[in-house]
Chain A
Amino acid sequence: DVKVTQSSRYLVKRTGEKVFLECVQDMDHENMFWYRQDPGLGLRLIYFSYDVKMKEKGDIPEGYSVSREKKERFSLILESASTNQTSMYLCASSFSAQVSSPLHFGNGTRLTVT
C-alpha cells in the first residue's frame, strides 16, 4: 500500500512565523500535491509537482511556496504565517500525470496560527 506521511498531525504557530510542512511518500510516485481543507470550502489545491525540482501553482498559491529536492519529499512553506492560513493541510501523491490515477493522501496536518 502507498504510504504518504506528513511530519506533524498538529501545529500551533504565531503570526509572522515561517512554517514548514513536510510530506514523504514511499511508492516512487511522480506527482505530489498540497491541498488545504476548510469547512464549507472543500479541498483546494495550493501547489503541485510532477517531478523533482518542478512546481506548479494550484488554485490558491498566495502566501505559500513549495520545495521538491527529492522525488519522495514535498515541502510546503508558509513564508509568514497569517491567521487565515489556519486550516487542515493535506499532502497527496499519484503515480503518473499521463493517465488519471487516484490521489493517495496523508493524514493531514492541522495548523493553527495565533
Chain B
Amino acid sequence: EDQVTQSPEALRLQEGESSSLNCSYTVSGLRGLFWYRQDPGKGPEFLFTLYSAGEEKEKERLKATLTKKESFLHITAPKPEDSATYLCAVQALIQGGSEKLVFGKGTKLTVNP
C-alpha cells in the first residue's frame, strides 16, 4: 500500500533556529512530490513540486530536497510567520496506468519570537 509519513507531527522552534521536516514515502512509480503550507482555517497553499531524486527547490527561507525514499523541507532562520502546518503529498503511478495522490498528515510548525 502506498504510504506517506511525515515527521515530526509537531515542531516548536525559536525564531532563527533552523530545522528540517521529513516526508518519507513508500510508493511505486513516483510521478511527483508536492509540499503545501496550510494556515489555520484555510486551504493548503502550494509551495513546491519535486520530480526526481537529487532535485532541490527554494523559496525564501524554505528549501525542499528529494531522495528515492524521502523529502526534506529545510527551514533556515525561521520567523513567526512561518508557523503553519506543512503537508507533503506524493503522486504515484498505480495499476492501469492511472495516478493517485497520497497526502501525509502534516507537520505543525510553531516558531516562537
Residue numbers of A with Cβ under 8 A of B are 4, 40-43, 45, 90, 92, 97, 100, 102-108, 110
Contacts and interface: CB of A to CB of B under 8 A. Distances in A.
Contact of A105 (B31, B45, B51, B105): B45
Contacts of A92: 43
B42 A103 contact: no
- Interface majority SS (helix, strand, loop, mixed), chain B: strand
Contacts of B49: 100, 102
B99 A100 contact: yes
Nearest to A100: B32
Contact of B46 (A42, A100, A102): A102
A43 B105 CA distance: 7
A45 B99 CA distance: 13
Interface hub of B43, B49, B101 (most chain A Cβ within 10 A):
B43
Given A43-B87, A100-B31, A102-B34, A90 B106 contact: no
A42 B4 CA distance: 11
A100 B91 contact: yes
Contacts of B51: 100
B41 interface: yes
Given A40-B105, A100-B49, A106 B99 contact: no
Contacts of B46: 102-104
